[in-house]
Amino acid sequence: MSPITTTPLTRRTALAGACTLCAVAVTGCATGQATHTDGRPVRVPRAGIDVGGAVVFPEHRLLVTQPGDGVYRAFSAVCTHQGCAVTDVDDDVVKCPCHGSKFRLTDGSVVKGPAQKPLAERTVTVDGNTLTIT
């Protein structure tokens, strides 16, 4: 049996390993997918989404708006700047708490950076009191 040789763990090696692990974790969290991990559509209730308003569904990473009576639009609730979840709906914009980006509720476009790209839009189908988002 051959002897096992080891290399001492230096701070530099440990830090490089930790940085690699963090990069993998952040990349996995910032995918911005609106559907469940298995690709199934998401169903949410229409109740509580007022005309001119919006609701964030953090468990699905979705922002659902009603810009006009009976007109619904859905967007990824993942900021296009660095992947943080947008959370705060205020008047006609939704804000990202991480770096202050703001997006219009009507079309997901950028109102204020640092984000450069709009929120990714999803398809909404109305079925009675339920919205199906793909």
Express each pLDDT in 32-57 by its tens digit. 333 444 468 999 999 999 999 999 99
Looking at the predicted structure, is the pLDDT value of residue 25 above 90? no
Average pLDDT, the chain: 78
* Number of domains present in the structure of the chain: 1
CATH, residue 56: 2.102.10.10
- pLDDT at position 8 is 53
Q: Which amino acid is at 7?
A: T
Q: What's the predicted TM-score (pTM) here? A: 0.70
Q: Is residue 98 part of a domain?
A: yes
Domain residues for the domain of 51 are 42-133
Q: Is residue 25 part of a domain?
A: no
Cβ neighbours of residue 19 under 8 Å, at least 6 residues apart? none
Q: Is residue 10 part of a domain?
A: no
Is there a contact between 74 and 123 (Cβ–Cβ < 8 Å)?
yes
Is there a contact between 15 and 42 (Cβ–Cβ < 8 Å)?
no
